[in-house]
Structures are given as structure tokens and as C-alpha cells.
Structure 1
Amino acid sequence: MFIVFLRFSDNKPQAAQLLEGHNAWIKRGFDSGIFLFAGSLQPNAGGTLLAHNIDRINLESLVQEDPFVAERVVSAEIHEVTPGRVDERLMFLKG
């Protein structure tokens, strides 16, 4: 499982122009079953994603397809997490 942080860069003003493509990219991630969660980093610092059912190399490629990443509106940090203890509602994350 991976947590992806998308932190705004100095190029943040370009976000409005790319928002439709960014949202379509997020939708594709959910439709493919890779993204489980998407949300905003507060206060207005960027976004975060929870991803699973993908390996790191393919996730890195997928993240590069995000228009926000491609146009340097955000910088992406990918953190791999191995779930150890989880609520029973999230047991599927343990694989």
C-alpha cells in the first residue's frame, strides 16, 4: 500500500488550468481500483492519495501521468506502507 503526497510548488497558480485533467486522472485511479482515498492536505498545501493493488514502479509511472505532476504544479512523494495492525473493516489492505 502507498500513501502519495502531492505538495503544491511555486507553480501552484497554474493549477486552475489543469484541474479538469487532474480530476480525470484521479477518476481513472479510482475506476481502476488503485486509489482508495483522495483528499486535500491542509491548509491548502496539496493533496494525498491512498493507493493499493499496484507496485511502486507502476505507481511512479501513474503519478507522472497526473497533469499537476507533469506540469510541476505539485511535487509527488510516494511512501510505501506495510499494514501491520488494521481495523477489521480494512483487513483487505493486509493482502
Structure 2
Amino acid sequence: MFVIFLRFSSNKAAAQDYMAAHNAWIAQGFADGVFLCAGSLGPAAGGAVLAQGEARTALESRVEADPFVAQGVVAAEIHEIDPKRTIPSLDFLKGTDLPAS
């Protein structure tokens, strides 16, 4: 499982120019079954996405395709999490190790 932090850069003012394309990128991540949750970082710091089911290299390519990332609106950080304990409804997240490529 991965947490992707999308922190606004000095080009934050351009966000409105790419918002529709960024929202389409998020929708595609959900449609592909890779994104589990997406939301804002407060206060007005950017966003975060929980993702699973995709190898890191594929996820890195997906993140690079985000119009906000491609246009320098945000800087992306990808952090991998190996869930060991969850509530029962999130047990599907445990043991989801994927190959490095």
C-alpha cells in the first residue's frame, strides 16, 4: 500500500488551469481500482492519495502523469506502507506486497 503526498509548490497559482485534468486523473485512478482514498491536506497544503494493487514503478509512472505533477503545481512523495494491523474491513490491505518493478 502506498500514501502519495501531493504538496503544493511555488507554482500553486496554476492549479486552477489544471484542476479539471487533475480531477480526471484522480477519477481514472479510482476507475482502475488503484486509488482507495483521496483528499486534501490542510490547511491548503495539497492533497494525499492512498493506493494499492499496483507495483511501485507503475505507480510512479501514474503519479508522473498527474497534470499537477507534470506542470509543477505539486511535488509528489510516495511512501510505501506494509500494513500489519487493520480493522476487519481493511484486512484486504494486509499482505499486499508487490514486486519492486
Alignment length, in residue pairs? 95
1:25 CA displacement: 0.2
Matched residues in 2 for 1:75 and 1:17: separation?
Answer: 17
Tell me how large the CA RMSD over aligned residues is.
0.5
State TM-score, norm by structure 1. Answer: 0.99
Which residues in structure 2 correspond to 1:20-31 (within 5 Å)?
Answer: 20-31=20-31
Percent of residue pairs bearing the same amino acid type:
56
Gaps of 5+ in 2: 97-101
State the Cα deviation string for residues 41-93 of structure 1 (Å, max 9, x = none).
Answer: 00000000000000110000000000000000000000000000000010011
- Residue 75, structure 1, aligned to residue 75, structure 2: yes
Secondary structure at the aligned position of 1:77 is classed as strand
5+ residue gaps, structure 1, are none
Q: Partner letter of residue 22 of structure 1?
A: H
TM-score (norm: length of structure 2): 0.93
Q: Which residue of 1 aligns with 2:7?
A: 7
Secondary structure at the counterpart of residue 44 of structure 1: coil
